[in-house]
A and B are shown apart, each in its own frame.
Chain A
């Protein structure tokens, strides 16, 4: 059974600081996704990582993937209040005849002024 572990669960940080969210998964995977969720809203796609060593950046967020270590990171640079949200990683894997996503537990990020 595929397990996806995300840490930390809660992260409170000052504006302007840097931090990293970690996502470990238990079996080989084809793709890894990062999503953002604002309170009461659905998921917003941030990144999809396809291969070992993949790195993607958008604004103050950068995601990377190490398939050998089964680890993905989401790095936040110079955090601003607008980044406050819950971030999920999700692993895409073939299950029987279908593909499905398995989500991490989420990291609730609060950026303090």
Chain B
């Protein structure tokens, strides 16, 4: 079946530094990928839709200069959290849609100290 690989699984970084999260579709091409953020005990909130070869579409309230998305190939999208602060600590999940349905990455637990 369709597999989405997400790395790293967890990362701890110092406040003010940047962190990059990778999302790869392993056995299918994904022109569109999705980035979600999930705070503890809450639901998934869509942050942005990543489009291969073009700019990402950000949801209202998501700072595009802080959460940089690059979708340079049909199998890779990256999310960079720039100048991270403790309030950015969260669980980040990517997703892609093969022909049918959605497949989710394993998630990245980001802790900013």
Q: Is A78 an interface residue (CB 8 A)?
A: no
Task: Decide if A33 touches B101 in the complex (CB within 8 Å).
Answer: yes
A100 interfacial by beta-carbon distance below 8 Å: yes
Please name all residues of chain B whose beta carbon is closer than 8 Å to the beta carbon of A43 when the two chains form the complex: 44, 93, 104
Interface residue count on the B side (C-beta < 8 Å): 23
Q: Which residues of B contact A99 (CB under 8 A)?
A: 97
Complex Cα spacing A11 to B101, Å: 28
- Residue pair B102, A101 in contact (C-beta under 8 Å): yes
Q: A41-B106, A98-B57, A101-B34 are in contact. Are A88 and B43 (CB under 8 A)?
A: yes
Q: How far is the CA of A16 from the CA of B71 in the complex (A)?
A: 47
A48 touches B46 (CB 8 A): no
Contact at A106–B101, with CB atoms within 8 Å?
no
Is B93's CB under 8 angstroms from A33's CB? no
Chain A residues with CB under 8 Å of chain B are: 33, 40-43, 45, 48, 88, 92, 96, 98-106, 108
